[in-house]
Chain A
Amino acid sequence: MDMSFSPDDQAFRAEVRQFLKDRLPARLSEKVRLQQELTKDEIEEWHAVLNEKGWLAGNWPVEFGGAGWTAIQRHIFEEESALAHAPRILPFGIAMLGPVLQKFGSKEQQDRFLPRILNGQDWWCQGYSEPGAGSDLASVKTTAVRDGDDYIVNGQKTWTTLGQHANWIFCLVRTDPTAKAQEGISFLLIDMTSPGITVRPIVLLDGTPEVNEVFFDDVRVPTENLVGEENKGWTYAKYLLTHERTNIAGVGFATAGLAALKRVARAQQAQGKPLIENPLFAARLAEIEIDLMAMATTNLRMLAQAAAGQVPGAESSMLKLKGTQIRQAINDLTRRAVGPWALAFPSEALEGANDDLPPGPPEAAAATRAYLNNRKLSIYGGSNEIQRGIIAKSLLGL
């Protein structure tokens, strides 16, 4: 048993840390630290900095323009990025679509789309969920009907994160309505500027329009945009979901969140003392920190297994479960830590542009928003109940 990182990995960590120090603009890291929403331009700005260094797609093989990092290197990069309050890399093109195109896409699709993901020409979004297809994703009803060299797409997608910025969407569509649920689905790439597409924002309970509904009304999509074979989309979708589950534990986010929580708790006063010295608060904080210490080690154990060539099974579901519980607990305690300042709730989406600064410490308004926004953690990416089902099935086989 040796729980330390190899000298090579330690050198890599130092390199990442130095790069973030040199190249991460303070104006971006400050917004991330205060959990303020980034604009499209700001996200693209950070992508461009990473792409210039060749670090935008750590998970892609070098032949496709990726960094070809090991699982442990990716973990180190994600952890250091979170600790430095770097903007997160958009997962849709890099983590989700990229691996699918690399494995199942045609040479033409790879040559056409992969470079545009890296250089920022395309912003992808995910067209999976529908009003009637959430956890039961295979029940998607959006149809694609062959018409000459085109498909005609009709239907509706929902929960499309940052779809308002996207110019492309990858979709699960039903191409064989007579087949069994999983067998009639295809994986289609759709240009968001096509006639017949309407994007409608959904304002969430944190007051931000983070997600959207996307409506398709007789949208023509060239058949060359079909990934792999018709009616084999479910296979590709499942492959994508396994990639969505990398960094599922969110150790870096949790570590950064805990550090922020401690800063707030040192600054807030309760009965004449820093809140962090209040025994009840300190106990709540310590339990979360102890849980995080154990969960971070579970994450490293899984990474070490992956490095040794073992395929993780139910462990990644356990990491999703525990990782999201810990992050939600941190959000909850941060919201409590700012006390009554948590009542202030500035929202451009709900009340229009308002430049007035909210009262209280700068973390206060963000604390409520982050708490509300991160209720999503236990719902998306396979809800925590779905994860429990996977864990139980792997153990019980029933």
Chain B
Amino acid sequence: MDFGFTDEQTMLGESLARTLERGGDAAALSELGAGLALMTEEAGGFGGSGPDILMVFRTLGRAAAVTPLLDSVVLGAGILSAAGEADLAEAAASGEARIAVALEEPGQRYDGKVSTRAEGERLSGEKSLVPGAEDATHLIVRATDGLWLVEAGAEGLGLRGYALMDGGRAAEVTLMDTPARRIGDAALLDRPLAAAILAVCADALGAMEKAVQLTTDYLKTRKQFGRPIGSFQALQHRMADLLTEVEQARSAVWNLAGNLDTADRDRHVAATKSLLGRVALYVAEETIQLHGGIGMTEEYELAPLARRLLAADARFGDSDHHLERFIAASAA
């Protein structure tokens, strides 16, 4: 039994953290090979396992970094690779191409209902909350009969962009007789989507760890009534509960990372995402409260972390959605 990382994974995590500290952008991350670390060897990368994804995204979460790695690589390149689109998958992993994945449709919550249709080689419909759509070179669109590839700037493709809570951007996408190429069945989504959920959970874990670290430092240095506020038992006990829940989140992420490619994957996806969503909200709320007024300000480092934690719950199904999936998977 071994819950550690390989030397390569540890080294990648460390150099990634250093690059992010220096303010490294997407190009710097590509240069480091962060994208290739998220792809298996068959897909032209040098990683792609659960622990690889865990290491990269926990590091990104700690730095509250906004990158295309989740949508363009884990999800986008993952789907392309599963579909046999090796060249475009490698281009996405190395950062030469940018993929946006259009799964949701307006008003469907997390139900995954799709009404976008193909007629011949053309797609029509509306997709919602498509992260990275404005910067994408290609869109993967889920339609009623499977997955389709659409090139940026294609005829009849409309984008209405907006900011997201975690610092990224997304768009509402309209397709009107837009030229497209079918790349495979929706079942190709299974593993890439599970990997993307692991990535979101690992990212949230990193954000929680950083939020806890900020809070710890604050409780030690902030003085009221002539003493550090961390000396007050009311705050100490809240801090202890916080730490205990983050430990639960850490183990849940390990469970999913260790089961990403086992027969028990779906049950672990549901369990981990449900627990992470629940703990993420709790950590966001508690770390703001423990800071007091300063925790409310945009200027302070906690703000993007707290929003990132809220975003993690809302992405790919919230804690209630995955609780229901867990119940269904347990009954099966």
Contacts and interface: CB of A to CB of B under 8 A. Distances in A.
A357 interface: no
A2 B262 CA distance: 12
A388 B236 contact: yes
B252 A398 contact: no
Interface in B1-44: 1-5
Contacts of A396: 216, 219-220, 230-231, 236, 239
A287 interface: yes
A301 interface: yes
A294 interface: yes
Contacts, number: 127
Nearest to B235: A392
Contact of A304 (B2, B247, B252, B326): B2
A395 B239 contact: yes
Interface residues of B, number: 41
B233 interface: yes
A283 B248 contact: no
A212 B50 CA distance: 52
A388 B251 contact: no
Contacts of B259: 3
Interface stretch (A34-42, A107-115, A314-322, A374-382): A314-322
A2 B258 CA distance: 7
A328 interface: no
Given A1-B51, A289-B330, A298-B247, A321 B3 contact: no
Interface in B227-275: 228, 230-231, 233, 236-237, 239-241, 243-244, 247-252, 254-255, 257-259, 271, 274-275
Contacts of B326: 286, 289-290
A343 interface: no
Given A297-B254, A388-B237, A392-B240, A322 B248 contact: yes
A383 to B, nearest CB: 12
Contacts of B241: 321, 388
Given A290-B275, A294-B252, A1 B4 contact: yes
Contact of B323 (A72, A283, A322, A395): A283
B243 A72 contact: no
B254 A301 contact: yes
B154 interface: no
A5 interface: yes
Given A282-B327, A294-B275, A397-B220, 20 more contacts: A1-B254, A1-B257, A2-B258, A3-B3, A5-B1, A283-B323, A286-B274, A286-B326, A286-B327, A287-B274, A290-B252, A293-B255, A298-B248, A315-B247, A322-B247, A388-B236, A391-B240, A392-B237, A396-B230, A398-B231
8 contacts: A1-B2, A286-B323, A290-B252, A290-B275, A293-B252, A298-B250, A392-B230, A398-B230
Interface of A: 1-6, 9, 72, 282-283, 286-287, 289-291, 293-298, 300-301, 303-304, 307, 314-315, 317-318, 321-322, 385, 387-389, 391-393, 395-398
